[in-house]
Each structure stands twice: as C-alpha cells, then as structure tokens.
A = this chain, B = another copy of it.
Amino acid sequence: MSVVVMKFGGSSVADAEKIRAAAKRAIRTRRAGHQVVMVVSAMGDTTDHLVDLARQVSASPPKREMDQLLVTGEQVTIALVAMALEEMGQPAISLTAGQIGMVTDDVHTKARIKTIDVRRVREQLDAGRIVIVAGFQGITAGGAMTTLGRGGSNVTLVAVAAALRADVCENFTDVDGIFTADPRIVPGARKIDRVSYDEMLELASLGASVLHNRAVEFAKKYDVPIHVRNSRNFRKGTVIVAETEGMERIVVSGVALKDKLARVTLRGVPDRPGVAARIFHAIATRNVVVDDIIQTVADDRTATVAFTVDLGELADAKKVVAELCEQLGCAAVFEDNLAKVSAVGVGMRGHTGVAERMFAALAAAGVNIQNITTSEIKISCLIDRDQGKQALRIVHDAFELGAKKRSRRHAKK
C-alpha cells in the first residue's frame, strides 16, 4: 500500500471548520487506497500568541523554555485533527515528536533532525489509522523539547516522508503552487508544473517563500518530491523534484524580487590577506546575515569591500561596521533603497545569451543596474527599490514566462 504524507500549514488548520476540511481531505486520500500521514502546524496565529506570552514575562526567554512553550501549539492541533477524523468514523492517532522518536540535536529554537524511528508510525498505519504528526518539533536524546526553526513544519514533512519512503509528499498551502513570478506583482505570472530543488532553493532565497530552504535542502538530500498545492481546491500544484533532462530545455523557470535590501560599502580597506575574512567574521559574530559580497581593488594599497543585507539587518550592520572602520581606518557608506531582481533556471547552464537578454531588457526600460551577481542557475541585478516591481515585470516578459508553455522553450540545443 502506498504511503502519502500530507502537510497542512497554520492557515489550513486555523479553526474547527478548516480542521474538518483537512480531515476530509485526508480521508478522501485514505479511501482512495493509500496509507495517510498528516503533518500539521499550530493553528493560525497560535505561535505568535505564545511568543507574545513569553515576552510578557521575559525580555529574553531561555531558548529551552521557549521550545517547551512553542511545541504545545502543534500538540493542540494534532489532537484536534485526530478527534475530527475519529468523529468522521476514520480511526486516527496523534503523535508528538517524542512519540515518533523524532530526535534532534540540542540547538534550541533551530534544532536539526538526527534520526526518526518510524516503527511506531508504521504500526499505526498498518492498523488502518491515519497518523497525525506534530510539525516543527523534535526531542533531544535527553528528552528536551526542541523546535526546528522557520519553515520547520515543512522540514518535518520531508523528514517523515523520507523516513517512510513515502510515494507522495504533499504540502498544502493557500496558493495553487509555485509561480513564474509573484502574481501580486506580475499579473501574467503562470503556475509552474515542475521545478528542480536547486531552482526552488534560489527562488525561495529570493523571496518566493512558499517553502523554506531548509525543507528543500532536506528534500534534495533524500530525493523526496514535494507537491505544493492549494488546500482549497483539487488542482495539481507544483512538483519540486530532482533535475531531469527535460528541465534543461527551459532556460528560465521563474523570476523573483527581493525588495528590501541595503548595501554597505567600505572604502579604503587595507588590501592585505585576511582583511576580508576579518570583516566578515566580525559581521557573522553579530549574527548579521549577509546577502551578496562585492570586492574590488581600488588602488595599490586599498580595496573597496561592499555587501548587501536585508533592510532589517542594517541597524546591526551599522554598529559592527563602525567598529571595523575604527580598527581598519576605512570609511563606510550605507544605502537603504535597493532591490534585487533575479532570473532562475537550470537551463541557463547550457545556454549563452541569457544574461545579455536580461540586461538588455532592463536597459531598454531605463532601469540602472548597480551590481550583478550570478550563480550557475541564477542571474541577479541590484537596482533602485523604486524600480523593483517594474523590473520584475520586464524580466518576466523578456523570458516570455507569461506566455503559453511552448514559448518558454525558446532555447534550442
């Protein structure tokens, strides 16, 4: 009997009615002849509410206690989903991370899964039950509660599917799947049928945040295809899979915009070995997450080192940079009005002229490119934030992503 693992996020289990709808959907799959595991998140804004409670009693809650608190959110949902299933006549059992032996390391609030003992789940499935697993949570070997960090429920989904060697792994959200661009900005954006793990990783890190990167990395590692689909309809969504040959014919799969970026430029940095390492070590120590790094040699003895950060990180970056400038004798410039538009596609590897096409389209529309970064499957342009949305639409059009499927395959090998 094939195993289907279905994950329902917080908005899909936000109240009794939605819980019943998720339960019905699982029963439908069960009655189609599959063994069903459901992975569920905390209801609606429960986690925010718990975080708020914690803030009311502590300015900096110990992380162990934060995890002890937060895991209750998912535990409430699993019990309610099991009750809803039983009420509909479907045998069911809810299991916490401790009960399925989802063992993690002890890095509280962002633990990593080490092992899953799925014997318990298999027993229950073989007894005809739907098994409901609490997402986002784990347990240390010593029995402490942990949480898996942002996007943690999707990590649970993939981990459970991998451990069970599931045939299908479905991630239910409130959108129809992954789109060629954010439909709120690009009205002609089209749903993508299949996308590779690597493309999804680039798209997610660029702001198309249906799935957090850790879940996708996990899925790639264990080769678990994830079907992202809408919990409110029965349409096919987007399947995230390993790269296949057919994908190479599609040069660009999607475009994405990250529109709250800032740039820090350090001028007059002594050009000697180890300086860059020292700078970025200092920045990492303060937990400032750096987006892209651009280094250029200014003259014989000094270099210009620049990097971009999320706007929200700028205040922290300023503090550490001020200290660095004092130590190194350099000067800093801060810009807080930038955005980055990117085109992503595994097909780019085998094709030339892709970057060119993107630059030309932006230039024709009068969008000034302030910086360019590339990876094997991605081209990114740093631009003014004011032009961000316009630039996204231009690049989307340039690669004909909104047109019918046939015309996306414009590249000939």
Contact = CB atoms under 8 A, between A and B. Distances in A.
Interface residues of A, number: 38
A11 to B, nearest CB: 17
A75 B53 CA distance: 13
Contacts of A83: 54, 57-58, 61-62, 65-66, 69
A16 interface: yes
A80 B62 contact: no
Nearest to A86: B62
A72 interface: yes
Interface string A73-104: 00110111011101100000110101100000
Given A98-B143, A99-B143, A69 B58 contact: no
Given A16-B53, A53-B16, A56-B16, A80 B87 contact: no
A50 B98 CA distance: 21
Interface of A: 16, 19-20, 50, 53-54, 56-62, 64-66, 68-69, 71-72, 75-76, 78-80, 82-84, 86-87, 93-94, 96, 98-99, 143-145
Given A58-B86, A65-B79, A98-B98, 14 more contacts: A16-B56, A16-B57, A53-B80, A57-B80, A61-B83, A65-B80, A66-B79, A68-B75, A68-B94, A69-B79, A69-B80, A71-B75, A72-B76, A99-B144
26 contacts: A16-B56, A16-B57, A19-B57, A54-B79, A54-B80, A57-B83, A57-B87, A58-B83, A58-B86, A61-B86, A61-B87, A62-B82, A62-B86, A64-B93, A65-B79, A65-B82, A68-B78, A68-B79, A68-B82, A69-B75, A69-B79, A71-B75, A72-B72, A72-B76, A96-B145, A99-B144
